[in-house]
Structure 1
Amino acid sequence: MELMGKHLIAGEWTGAAEQFSSDPAEGEPRIFAAGTVDLVDRAAQAAEDAFDAYSATTAQDRAAFLNAIADEVDARIDTLALIGAQETGLPDARLRGETGRTSGQLRMFATHILEGDFLDARHDAALPDRTPLPRSDLRMIQRPIGPVAVFGASNFPLAFSTAGGDTASALAAGCPVVVRGHHAHPGTAEVVAAAIAAAITACDMPAGVFSLIQGGGLEVGQALVQHPLIKAVGFTGSLRGGRALFDLCAQRPEPIPFFGELGSINPVFVLPAAASARGAEIGAGWAASLTMGAGQFCTNPGVVVVTDGPGADAFRDAAVAALHESPAQTTLTAGIADAYFDGRDRIARAGCTRALVSSDRGEARGVTPAVFEVSGTDWLNSDALAHEVFGPLGIIVRVADADEMAAVAKGLDGQLTCTLQMDAGDTAAAKALMPVLERKAGRILANGFPTGVEVSGAMVHGGPYPASTNFGATSVGTLAIRRFLRPVCYQDLPAELLPVV
């Protein structure tokens, strides 16, 4: 497929005077038109123009549209794998799997809206004879909120980007979408946008139901979240960038919800019986999870808390042995590699840590694992350690006892996940931690590792700040649709005026 290097604005492939060059992991850079504030305005206006018609479509119509997008994405899997690998350095199998996840979650939302539960429809029938006052006929239903802005993620060029979970759930809800593509994979974004455009034509949907804006400076992202026609934002990225956009959303004359997934260290608590019985096994499993995909997952388990003793030694020794064998991996962008080594240096400068595995800088985007060890007391006294380092960096926190482990848990910021490694003898200790962990994380695991997020009805991918900016929401799973709906009550309205669902 020959890339055009253009934006897609309401069905039209549009160039721009300003351009930018991609920075691929392999192959020659490509030139793309860069976003502008004017293009943001055009896309937002097109989305608003499409909203009345699109929000009035039936669930059957939108399900057919979502399935059509999925079919078009699947039809381009070879192209996506090729261009995605060139841009990101991700292996072919990962990109093909992520393509399947992308089309799969589109189909999941198609099925979900046909079932109707997302509407949360409620009806209180009129009670005209009730005393002392009669009751009106009341019907409540969830309705789409308006045009939604979505920011593509660096670490998932497909499943969290152009037609990813935010876009899929917003379209399922009945909301047009304007996507700001990530500069790390603009070619991949263009291919997916072409798939969506084909589905729009095939399903006779309003052209403004989807637009893609590529690149551009900070002012483009700022203009998108502050545009008065945008009614919500979906974002997956860094704490710094996400918090800046969140603040802009809050400062608008009409503040809007910012659904940002920002950062998490995803702690693993290895309880004493488990450490004693299988410390080495857990250590090897942790090392594999820590280095999966060069550690570039938001659920990467960056911190392990284990009670000091022989079990902790076995865990550490097995993890270190496995990590010494881990080869260099290519990061998604040069900026991620730079930030990784900056984070490594920050941990080393804390002064209370001991380096167990030292990361080396390979080629421009190459990284190897780094692991540090610290006592529970020093962890609790250092503010520098409990912040995410995006990449294969881990910290082993050796606590003195259950009380110190509980203190570490209570001191955590909000997390996407918390994990318990436990055996039967750890049940009491695990029960003592559960009230703390439930307040800290959106997902709690036992005897596993958090990398790998199932796309399903029961999944929660979110948590208290800074894991996400709205801990009552999830960016993965069917509940994600609720971010882009709001309840409306219809009192004594004739049936002809009620929404068609």
Structure 2
Amino acid sequence: MTTQPLLIGGEWREARELLGAFRAEDPTTGAPIGPAFPLCGAADVEAALQAAAAVADELAAGPPERIAAFLDAYAAGIEADAEALVDVAHAETALPKQPRLANVELPRTTNQLRLAAKAVRSYAWTQPVIDTAAGLRTHRAPLSKPVLVFGPNNFPFAFNAIAGSDFASAIAARNPVIAKAHPSHPATSERLARIAFAALEQSGLPLAAVQLLYHFDYGVGARLAGDARLGAIGFTGSRAGGLALKAAADAAGVPAYVELSSVNPVFLLPGALAERGEALAQEFFTSCTMGSGQFCTNPGVVIVPRDAAGDAFVSAARAHFAAAAPSVLFSRGVLDHLQAGVATLRSAGAEVLAGGTTGEHGYRYAPTLLSVSAETFLQQPKLQTEAFGPVSLLVRVRDVSQMAQVASSFEGNLTGTLYSANDGRDAEAWSTVAHALRPRVGRLIGNRMPTGVAVSPAMNHGGPYPSTGHPGFTAVGMPAAITRFTALHCYDNVPEQQLPTELRDRNPGGVTRCVDGVWRNDDLGSA
């Protein structure tokens, strides 16, 4: 069988150990579309690892300007090919061309690449620190090893293994990348990789700085994740898959930055409901069903008081969900996992208020609303199961005190949201609930649904386990996201001429450095 070529060792070539082939599917019909892509064996994975490792030192020692030039050229190439990229991604994911792919996600992707380039030029990600009295100088530096990136199914551009935030972050830190594309959008990934390859040629970086593999089986993936020649792993996907890779990586001492699952609790405080409950019901429904609910920040659990205003909110939300047509999901796998998640919630005591059914064609599932008492929720940990899709669970509480109990019971999540009244009447309730919720979420949100992530240096797209594998890092926002793929290098009494550029006394580039506890960008001895 003829399959699409792999990008390995600076060239496009056929798989040398073909274990099988697969095609993308049209989510609206379930029918295969596009060309066949290879299921790689260990030989191709080993070749990609060897090729990436061989250029790691060259990339780490290379001029930062070439890295920045690559990132900028890649962004420009994506924009030049935007129409074709959007067409392919739409066919493979059924995500709408407008506004989602063309006006939101693709610009976000190019913006991430350019922000990474800006961080490279400013040395912002290196975080230089100088202690003149002790003769110590420290900064973040490349790993001098490849980074393995696994892309998720829900962002064919912005989190794609060959173009997204993990990719941009790893390259910005001057590490080669082995990109493992998601099988839900292989043609999109291939098209992006061809643009990336052209940008490598244009910028003068080693062509083996980027490798692309489309798919491999669990055993091959586990062996790769556990290979000590890797510098780090970036993963976004299911909890089971991420933890399996992390276990293999941990055994080999390879840092694994994994985004796993999150139900993103939303607390509707009493004053907010009394003030604008009907509007909140519409806002909640829109957020839960946006992108067919296939966001890692989807509002999966909403905490609602058991009072008249809460009852009115539930009634309005239920009507919205009941009237909605089934949503198209990415794949059969997503549909199967969603059905299993809803079944788990029901078996733990949740009642279906609306939805809970599949569509007639393709991979469709009706927007689904469930409800459960706070008492049952507190007794059943399985009610925190993530149902990845247009599904949310209402938790009915008797008062603010029980809201705080529910907040304290949550596992780690990416986000937590509180809605309060505009007139300030919920101030005390906010403090009570937020105090319980704050340690359990990466991002605390006020009066806005959690769906969506801004590409900003101040963004935290991370959180306590099991939302991610480490609460101290973010997968979005430059330069912070870059630091995941770095090593902390310290220089003790090293001669000036042997120091990295940003740690020397002279600072002609005006790099911002922390010198003896003060952030400054001049030469040492000039202040």
Question: Percent identity at matched positions?
Answer: 36
Query: Counterpart amino acid of 1:279?
Result: G
Query: Counterpart amino acid of 1:83?
Result: V
- Match status 1:119 vs 2:117: no
Task: Answer with 373-382 or 34-43: which moved more.
Answer: 34-43
Which of 124, 136, 139 lines up with 2:137 in the alignment?
Answer: 139
State the 1:285 CA deviation: 0.6
Hey, what does 1:403 align to over in structure 2? 401
Cα deviations by residue, 1:282-326 (Å, 9 ceiling, x for unpaired): 111101100001100000001111211011112111111211222
Tell whether the 8 Å contact from 1:259 to 1:469 is kept in structure 2 after alignment. Answer: yes
Cα deviations by residue, 1:30-60 (Å, 9 ceiling, x for unpaired): 2112222122211112111111111112332
Tell whether the 8 Å contact from 2:260 to 2:468 is kept in structure 1 after alignment. Answer: yes
Tell whether the 8 Å contact from 2:235 to 2:242 is kept in structure 1 after alignment. Answer: yes
Distance 1:35 1:321 in 2: 48
Hey, what does 2:469 align to over in structure 1? 469
Tell whether the 8 Å contact from 2:223 to 2:248 is kept in structure 1 after alignment. Answer: no
Query: Counterpart amino acid of 1:267?
Result: P
Compute the TM-score of the two structures, normalised by the length of structure 1.
0.94
Tell whether the 8 Å contact from 1:226 to 1:249 is kept in structure 2 after alignment. Answer: yes
Tell whether the 8 Å contact from 2:372 to 2:394 is kept in structure 1 after alignment. Answer: yes
State the 1:18 CA deviation: 3.4
- Match status 1:95 vs 2:93: no
Task: Answer with 172-181 or 353-362: which moved more.
Answer: 353-362
State the 1:434 CA deviation: 2.1
Distance 1:287 1:29 in 2: 34
Task: Answer with 422-431 or 87-96: which moved more.
Answer: 87-96
Distance 2:457 2:350 in 1: 41
State the 1:500 CA deviation: 4.0
Hey, what does 1:36 align to over in structure 2? 41
Hey, what does 2:175 align to over in structure 1? 175
Query: Counterpart amino acid of 2:105?
Result: E
1:31-430 aligned within 5 A: 31-93=36-98, 94-96=100-102, 97-125=104-132, 127=133, 135=134, 137-145=135-143, 146-161=145-160, 162-252=162-252, 255-350=253-348, 352-362=349-359, 363-423=361-421, 424-430=424-430
Hey, what does 2:517 align to over in structure 1? none
Tell whether the 8 Å contact from 1:301 to 1:449 is kept in structure 2 after alignment. Answer: yes
Hey, what does 2:525 align to over in structure 1? none
Distance 2:137 2:327 in 1: 55
Q: Which runs of 4+ in 1 moved over 3 A?
A: none
Query: Counterpart amino acid of 2:261?
Result: G
Tell whether the 8 Å contact from 1:35 to 1:213 is kept in structure 2 after alignment. Answer: yes
Hey, what does 1:435 align to over in structure 2? 435
- Equivalenced residues, count: 487
Distance 1:99 1:4 in 2: 27
Cα deviations by residue, 1:401-432 (Å, 9 ceiling, x for unpaired): 11211111101000000000101111111112
Tell whether the 8 Å contact from 1:330 to 1:367 is kept in structure 2 after alignment. Answer: yes
State the 1:29 CA deviation: 4.3
Distance 2:3 2:342 in 1: 39
Give the SS at the match of 2:383.
coil
Give RMSD over aligned pairs. Answer: 1.5
Tell whether the 8 Å contact from 1:20 to 1:34 is kept in structure 2 after alignment. Answer: yes
Tell whether the 8 Å contact from 1:340 to 1:389 is kept in structure 2 after alignment. Answer: yes
State the 1:336 CA deviation: 0.3
Give unmatched runs, 5+ long, in structure 2. Answer: 503-527
Hey, what does 1:495 align to over in structure 2? 496
Residue 18 to residue 354, structure 1, CA distance change in 2 (3 Å): closer
Cα deviations by residue, 1:195-232 (Å, 9 ceiling, x for unpaired): 11001100110122110011121123213212221110
Query: Counterpart amino acid of 2:150?
Result: F
Tell whether the 8 Å contact from 1:22 to 1:185 is kept in structure 2 after alignment. Answer: no
Compute the TM-score of the two structures, normalised by the length of structure 2.
0.90
Query: Counterpart amino acid of 2:494?
Result: L
Query: Counterpart amino acid of 1:491?
Result: D
Distance 1:81 1:159 in 2: 12
Give unmatched runs, 5+ long, in structure 1. Answer: 128-134
State the 1:61 CA deviation: 2.3
Distance 1:451 1:181 in 2: 24
Tell whether the 8 Å contact from 1:139 to 1:490 is kept in structure 2 after alignment. Answer: yes
Distance 2:287 2:363 in 1: 20
Distance 2:229 2:20 in 1: 26
Distance 2:195 2:314 in 1: 47
Hey, what does 1:131 align to over in structure 2? none
Hey, what does 2:513 align to over in structure 1? none
- Match status 1:13 vs 2:33: no
Query: Counterpart amino acid of 1:231?
Result: G
Tell whether the 8 Å contact from 1:72 to 1:199 is kept in structure 2 after alignment. Answer: yes
- Match status 1:460 vs 2:466: no
Distance 1:292 1:379 in 2: 26
Distance 1:495 1:48 in 2: 30
State the 1:269 CA deviation: 0.4
Tell whether the 8 Å contact from 1:43 to 1:211 is kept in structure 2 after alignment. Answer: yes
Tell whether the 8 Å contact from 2:322 to 2:355 is kept in structure 1 after alignment. Answer: no
